A and B are shown apart, each in its own frame.
Chain A
Amino acid sequence: MMSKNLLKIVAMAALGASVASAGFAGSANTVSNARYVPTIWVDPDGCEHWVMDDGAEGYMTPHVTRDGIPVCQRGNTCAVMNSDQLFAVDKWHVSAANRTRLKAFFRDSGASVYLIDGHTDSDASDAYNMRLSKNRAMAIASIAKSAGVKAQARWYGERVPAASNNTRVGKSKNRRVEIQCIR
């Protein structure tokens, strides 16, 4: 015959086991405030990613600022071309001479892809500048493609200035086509 005390101990042990298993099942399915501190992996382009190894699982996501701008240890900009030397005011036609120069640049630079980024100064409206920078970037990208290389056009209008738009010199610096050479 089991003593009262022994019965109590057995009952408690059983309860303990059931609580522990319930607790384990709960923690396996749902975690709250689990500590996940990432480290940084730098991709071959030079930009950072958050990375974590959770035993058998791996996790990774780009490291971007709260504005959505990637954090990169280096850029891939290999040329900044002043728009005044490439285009007439408000136009996106490229002269034959410049076309030849650009083709030579694309043939000789050896990147696997060229990202062509069009920018303007802050004169005229945002919508107008988005359109102008798009047409200019696409004009340069089509020259790159005619030189037999891969290119992707993007446009930012006046939204990503390189200098202040309050001075004449600053505005001139903002009127530009930036080229990223992706290896």
Chain B
Amino acid sequence: MTFMKATSVALLAISVAGCDVPKQNKTVDNFIDSKDLSQLKAGIWVDPNGCDHWIIDDGVEGYLSARIDQNGKPVCSGIAEPNTATGAYKSGSPIADVI
């Protein structure tokens, strides 16, 4: 991302987020990629024990939550190697990662 782009994103973020500061409504993303949080797109991150976690890179925000089955036990699916991430979990936002 160029400096100009980063600056314009930052300025836009300030202007958009300006409506709700400090942010009271934690259930929506008010950034350029604004949405209700129910629409997040997840991939799978496999922890060092081989168990799955939902991983979401939503532009500026990152989310991680355990994948557990209906009985509460971890799902260790073996669909990927430990310490790897798989899936289109970066696809939910047009905001590219700066680093």
Contacts and interface: CB of A to CB of B under 8 A. Distances in A.
Nearest to B43: A44
Interface string B63-74: 111111111110
B40 A41 contact: yes
Contact of B79 (A59, A62, A68, A112): A112
B27 A38 contact: yes
Contacts of B38: 39-42
B65 A60 contact: yes
A60 B58 CA distance: 12
A42 B38 CA distance: 7
A23 interface: no
A45 B64 contact: no
Interface in A31-84: 35-45, 47, 49, 51-62, 64, 68-70, 72, 75-77
A154 B21 CA distance: 47
Contacts of A160: 71
Interface residues of B, number: 38
Interface residues of A, number: 44
A160 B22 CA distance: 45
Interface string B49-69: 000001010101111111111
B61 A150 contact: no
B7 to A, nearest CB: 16
A56 B77 contact: no
Contact of B72 (A43, A59, A70): A70
Nearest to B79: A112
B78 A51 contact: no
A180 B61 contact: no
A156 interface: yes
A113 interface: yes
Nearest to B78: A150
10 contacts: A37-B26, A39-B37, A43-B67, A56-B61, A62-B68, A64-B72, A75-B70, A113-B77, A152-B76, A152-B78
Interface of A: 35-45, 47, 49, 51-62, 64, 68-70, 72, 75-77, 112-113, 115, 117, 150, 152, 154, 156, 160, 180, 182
